[in-house]
Structure 1
Amino acid sequence: MKKLRGKKRYIRNLWKEVNTCDLKLDHESWFDFWHVHLDFFGVGKNSLKIRREHIKAHVALYNRLLKQLEGFEKPYQAWICIHEQDPISDAVYVHTPNPNDDYFPHQIQGLHWNCKLPNTFKDLIDLDKFDVAYKKSEYEEVYFIQSKEQGIKL
């Protein structure tokens, strides 16, 4: 991959996206695995500094969405996925009961809770506020980060 040009502008736009993302909440709102990918083009794959900036942005977005969900009266799940090898797949999710399917709450088999975070981003996750789970399959390694206070656990 070529060197990223316009890094400051890219990071500024990343944070603009985080700070303007709003859930449209009313009494009829529902979410069917609604999610946001902040590293849509995989820019963080070749730069640890940019990868960390994306993870910080995902955490900030998650906190922003949790703040918006505080007054939401329906049950919900919200979490962050951080993929060890595939930053394009990193995302923040919101899921509620919805008319598309009766699959709620979302249950992921084989999660290992209270796992050790990798050194690359362990200082970015406040373990007093968040629970962290890990899942490894033959295809990927994923960290699931979820609030200890809000939402239904995965």
Structure 2
Amino acid sequence: MFPERADRIVLDSSIGHTHLDRDGTRRYALGMEQTLPDFAKWAARRHDSYGLGRTAAQVRASYLAIAGALDKAPVAGTDGSRFRLLTFGHLFKQAQYAQPAQIWQALLEGDSGHGVYVLGDNSCALNATTRYLVEGDMPAKDTSGRAG
């Protein structure tokens, strides 16, 4: 293979019969197409928190716009491929949806991010925390919001 660089090579970690061959890997695209609508509906219901779109179609358009922009000009080491992988990796269960939503939001706003500081997707807590961290505005009184 590379006689000028190596005289022996060991190929390790064969994929065996795991279905992670070329065709199996390509099926991940189908999985993304099947699960992105669930995330898009979730994000659309939380547009006031994340600003990704008021409808599932608008959220999908945001996804495509972010991925396309990162393909042309990566941000902080993240290109379109990494963004797509990161998104796909968080679509397996709804409990993970807040993380990609926060990342998409930062990328849409051109913000390198100020950290993930709220675990979960409580928009009341998220918005109050964001206002405090970004603008320094503490709520005038205790803020309460609907759980979940």
Greater relative contact order structure (CA < 8 Å, 6+ sep)? 1
Which is helix-richer, 1 or 2? 2
What is the TM-score when the length of structure 1 is the normalising length? 0.26
Structure number, greater radius of gyration: 2
Higher strand share: 1
